[in-house]
């Protein structure tokens, strides 16, 4: 079993199946999902062994398998302290664990240039 969480995008893989929840964000230029509202129910299910490019979403065909993998992700998220989940939108808009003296993301980037 393997899981990952990357700024909103989450996924869980087990026994040749992969469940993932893509997070639409404004950071990725040209992202077809950017600007769409986030839908917690938009989980996708793939069989990477048979569909290496993950082109066929099997979520409707195997809802029980998807539910099992989603539940397993939630369990792993609690065990490994992933909550609260932080997204790129949270980072860009300064909505995450910050002190009162924290600079904006733009100000921090300016320091680097």
- In three-state secondary structure terms, 18 is strand
Distance CA 87, CA 55 (A): 25
Give the CATH number, domain containing residue 74.
3.30.1120.10
- pLDDT at 76 (0 to 100): 87
- pTM for the whole thing? 0.66
Per-residue pLDDT of the chain (113 residues; tens, 9 = 90+): 888 877 778 899 999 999 998 876 555 555 555 566 556 678 999 999 999 999 999 999 999 999 999 999 889 888 887 777 777 666 666 666 556 666 666 776 677 76
* Residue 55, domain extent: 2-112
All residues at 6 or more sequence positions from 42 whose CB lies less than 8 Å from its CB, including other chains: 21, 22
CB atoms inside a 10 Å sphere around CB 3: 20
Q: Specify the number of domains making up the chain.
A: 1
- pLDDT at 45 (0 to 100): 95
């Amino acid at each position: 079993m393997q899981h990952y969480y990357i700024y909103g995008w989450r996924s869980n893989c087990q026994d040749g199946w992969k469940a993932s929840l893509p997070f639409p964000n404004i950071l990725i230029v040209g992202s077809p999902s950017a600007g769409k509202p986030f839908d917690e129910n938009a989980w996708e299910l793939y069989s990477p062994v048979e569909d290496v490019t993950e082109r066929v979403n099997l979520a409707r065909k195997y809802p029980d398998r998807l539910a099992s993998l989603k539940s397993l992700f939630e369990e792993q998220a609690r065990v490994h302290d992933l909550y609260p989940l932080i997204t790129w939108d949270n980072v860009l808009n300064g909505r995450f664990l910050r002190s009162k003296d924290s600079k904006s993301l733009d100000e921090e980037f300016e320091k680097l240039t």
